[in-house]
Amino acid sequence: MMQRTIPIAILSLSGVILILAYFSPLTTSWGETVLNWFNVLAAVAFVLGAGNILRVNLEKISSQRPGWAYAAITLVSFFAMLAFGLFKLGAVPNAKYPDIHFAGDYETTASPYGWMYEYVLSPLTATMFALLAFYVASAAFRAFRAKNTESILLLGTAFIILIAQTAAGMFLTAWIPDDSAFAFLRFDSMRAAITQHIQTAGMRAITIGIALGVVATSLRLILGIDKNYLSSR
């Protein structure tokens, strides 16, 4: 009973306080306290996330599931970054406090943590993102087919945006004067029309829909009607 009542009470109270804080300056400081709790919880979520990485990968290694070597590499990298960052191993001593180890700068590339960030983590994450270009090109070639009216519209829009997002878009239709009756055929005009009218209109509709959904869900949570986020036990 208490396992469910206390979380619901905390949630309802926090929700009501945040709503009140938005409308009444008298309750602003209450809202700030709740937000502080929220931020602390968000920081704790990092610890939970790290614990989950540890659990999942250790399970994979212990059961020798396919790809367990990758799990081992993940854990070694995880612990290396954690140790170098947390204990500031190899940190460059602080000029003002050279005897205090923890005053040292561990984010410079002269320290192991900074070096690994700059020359391992940063290029790896950028590479992972860059790989998308190759897969998008391959997928576009195989799947982007003008099979019906909807796909023809999508294809036409994609062509206009792809060209307009480069210098080619400007120069292919730059000969059409800005003030002529055919100015709408310029790639930059077509892109502006698509993004500012069609795309924005669609996105506004989606945003309003999401906002209404969030309001409804929040009210259900605050009033204790929706309890799905709690454990079923």
Partner 1 sequence: MTTPQRGSSNPGLLERLGSLDRRWIFLSMGLSIALPILLQLRFPEVPGPMARATFDAIEAVPEGSRVLISFDYDPASAAELQPMANAMVHHCASKGHRIVFMALWPLGKQMADQTIDQVLLNFHPDLEYGTDYVQLGYQAGNEGVVKLMATNIPEQYKTDTSGTKLADLPLVGDLRNTSDFKLVASLSAGNPGAKEWVQYADSADKEAFTLVSGSTGVQVSQLLPYYPAQLEGMLVAVKGAAEYEMLVEEKYPVSKDAERIGQGRVRMGPQLVAHMLMIGLIVLGNLAMISGRARGGAQ
Q: Three-state DSSP class for 126?
A: helix
CB 114 within 8 A of CB 108: yes
| DSSP class of 74 | H
Window 184 to 203, contacts with partner 1 (CB under 8 A): 188, 192, 195-196, 199-200, 203
Asked if 159 touches partner 1 (CB under 8 A), the answer is yes
CA distances from 72 to 27, 55, 64, 128 (A): 50, 12, 10, 20
Regarding 28 and contact with partner 1 (CB under 8 A), the answer is yes
Tokens found for residue 100: 């205090």
Tell me the two tokens of residue 72.
């081992």
Is 207 an interacting residue with respect to partner 1 (CB under 8 A)? yes
Q: Which stretch binds partner 1 (CB under 8 A): 2-10, 26-34, 55-63, 71-79?
A: 26-34
Alpha carbons 161 and 199: distance in angstroms, whole number: 12
Among 130, 153, 216, 230, binds partner 1 (CB under 8 A): 130
Kindly state whether residue 165 participates in binding partner 1, applying the rule CB under 8 A: yes
CA–CA separation, 230 vs 222, rounded Å?
13
Provide the binding-site residues for partner 1, judged by CB under 8 A: 28, 31-32, 35-36, 38-39, 42-43, 45-46, 107, 117, 121-123, 125-126, 128-130, 133-134, 136-138, 140-142, 144-147, 155, 158-159, 162-163, 165-168, 170, 188, 192, 195-196, 199-200, 203-204, 207
